[in-house]
């Protein structure tokens, strides 16, 4: 029986890296990708400048008040960055777990690329080489107990191969030259006999590498719903920005006509703008998208885009053609559900 380990929401290493990434995201080029938060970012810079001015005795409002507004604005920006970085960090952790499938293995490389089927096997002169150094077209000898170093095609011999680490199929499969059963996958293990295989891919192009790339490069292109929501948020931000811009001249005119009172400060206007615009939705929109992809990866489903996450929300039942595609290595029981009158020990013995 196995238990799947899941990352807690605020894992120490994950949260620490997310905090560092949140600070890196203060780069204006990163903030510009989110128009709503970019407005808050500019407001944070403006209030910080006004605070420095207030310390010099020329502030439009008390320095303590301006400092409080500036701190809240910076906290808002950093919180949005942290939420997005935390979601991205969970996806990176999933990719790191996939890298665990890759093992540092050595290959038995045969000289030249023109294999003529020499026999016996003991006469084959091979050279040990790291699997990552193999190139497309190289010829390798794989014997019983060896891990297949890279994806390739069997050109000589026949062997029983354990592919459970990749496909989840617990039963060994036969791989032989010619026919439909000549393809071998890097990371699988030869259980008996031997084969000679021609490497079919260059480093970084194996099946496992492609799986890792799918997770790491999962596209965060916005879905139609996200695009529509972003347009709405930007539109609302522009409307409220126009409202705030007109408040200062109106306040100045009203004070001049009344002959009393004070013009509303720039700090108050910035704070009011941040309160009016949809800051919460704008700040968490990208984080929600990344978190959705990460949540699917925890269920061993690789979502290649935000559109796939939305489509998965409409799925009630996922029907696969065989159990081997969703099992972990050799099939392992995660729980025993005994019938009435049958103990778990009896069920385990029968299984």
- pLDDT score of 122 more than 70: no
In the chain, where does the domain assigned CATH 2.70.150.10 lie?
106-212
Name every residue whose Cβ is closer than 8 Å to that of residue 322 and which is 6 or more positions away in sequence.
169
What is the C-alpha to C-alpha distance for residues 221 and 225, in angstroms, rounded to an integer?
Answer: 11
* pLDDT at residue number 3: 41
The residue with tokens 């972990």 is 328
The residue with tokens 């996939």 is 98
Tell me if residue 42 falls in helix, strand or coil: helix
Which one from 114, 180, 314, 321 is the annotated catalytic residue? 321
Q: Beta strand 139-143 with 183-184: parallel, antiparallel or unpaired? A: unpaired
Assess whether 314 carries a catalytic annotation.
no
* pLDDT at residue number 99: 66
- pLDDT score of 256 more than 70: yes
Give the tokens for residue 104. Answer: 């540092």
14 within 8 A of 90, measured Cβ to Cβ: yes
Q: Of 33, 46, 55, 54, whose CA–CA distance to 73 is shortest? A: 46
pLDDT, tens only, 159-214: 999 887 677 667 788 998 887 788 898 888 899 888 889 998 888 777 777 777 76
Omega of the bond prior to 247 within 30 degrees of 0, cis? no
- Beta pairing partners, 162: 189
The confidence band for 126, taking pLDDT boundaries of 50, 70 and 90, is confident
pLDDT, tens only, 144-156: 888 888 889 998 8
Least confident piece of the model among 6-15, 17-26, 203-212:
6-15
225 within 8 A of 288, measured Cβ to Cβ: no
* pLDDT at residue number 297: 67
Residue 298 neighbours by CB distance under 10 Å: 13
pTM across the whole model: 0.58
The residue with tokens 């108050």 is 268
Name every residue whose Cβ is closer than 8 Å to that of residue 184 and which is 6 or more positions away in sequence.
142, 148, 151, 152, 153, 154, 161, 175, 195, 197
The whole-chain average pLDDT of the chain stands at 80
The residue with tokens 């796939």 is 308
CATH of 106-212, one of 2.40.50.100, 2.70.150.10, 3.90.1310.10, 3.30.70.360: 2.70.150.10
96 within 8 A of 297, measured Cβ to Cβ: no
What is the C-alpha to C-alpha distance for residues 292 and 310, in angstroms, rounded to an integer?
Answer: 9
Residue 97 neighbours by CB distance under 10 Å: 14
* pLDDT at residue number 40: 93
Buried b / exposed e over 50-82, threshold 16 CB at 10 Å, is bbeebeeeebebebebbbebbeebbebbbebbb
Q: Beta strand 139-143 with 173-176: parallel, antiparallel or unpaired? A: unpaired
Give the tokens for residue 268. Answer: 């108050």
Between 12 and 62, the more confident residue is 62
The confidence band for 270, taking pLDDT boundaries of 50, 70 and 90, is very high
36 within 8 A of 226, measured Cβ to Cβ: no
What is the C-alpha to C-alpha distance for residues 81 and 286, in angstroms, rounded to an integer?
Answer: 10
* pLDDT at residue number 89: 76
């Amino acid at each position: 029986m196995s238990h799947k380990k899941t990352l807690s929401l605020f894992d120490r290493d994950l949260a620490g890296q997310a905090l560092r990434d949140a600070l890196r995201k203060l780069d204006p080029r990163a903030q510009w990708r989110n128009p709503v938060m970019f407005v808050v970012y500019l407001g944070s810079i403006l209030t910080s400048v006004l605070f420095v001015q207030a310390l010099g005795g020329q502030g439009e409002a008390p320095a303590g008040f301006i400092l409080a507004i500036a701190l809240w604005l910076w906290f808002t920006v950093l919180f949005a960055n942290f939420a997005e970085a935390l979601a991205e960090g969970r996806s990176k952790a999933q990719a790191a777990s996939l890298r665990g499938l890759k093992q540092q293995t050595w290959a038995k490389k045969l000289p030249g690329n023109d294999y003529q089927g020499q026999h016996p096997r003991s006469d084959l002169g091979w050279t040990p080489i790291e699997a990552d150094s193999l190139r497309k077209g190289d010829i390798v000898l794989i014997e019983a107990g060896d891990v297949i170093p890279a994806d390739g095609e069997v050109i000589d011999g026949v062997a029983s191969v354990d592919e459970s680490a990749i496909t989840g199929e617990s039963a060994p499969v036969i791989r032989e030259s010619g026919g439909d059963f000549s393809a071998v996958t890097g990371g699988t293990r030869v259980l008996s006999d031997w084969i000679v295989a021609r490497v079919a891919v260059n480093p970084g192009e194996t099946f496992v590498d492609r799986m890792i790339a799918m997770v790491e490069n999962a596209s965060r292109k916005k879905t139609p719903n996200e695009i529509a929501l972003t347009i709405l948020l930007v539109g609302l931000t522009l409307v409220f920005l126009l409202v705030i811009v007109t408040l200062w001249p109106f306040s100045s005119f009203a004070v001049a006509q009344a002959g009393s009172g004070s013009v509303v400060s720039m700090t108050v206007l910035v704070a009011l703008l941040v309160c009016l615009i949809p800051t919460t939705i704008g700040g968490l929109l990208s984080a929600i998208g990344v978190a959705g992809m990460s949540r699917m990866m925890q269920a061993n489903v690789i979502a290649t885009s935000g559109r796939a996450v939305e489509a998965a929300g409409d799925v009630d039942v996922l029907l696969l053609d065989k159990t081997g595609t969703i099992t972990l290595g050799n099939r392992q029981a995660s729980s025993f559900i005994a019938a009435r009158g049958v103990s778990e020990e009896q069920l385990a013995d029968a299984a």
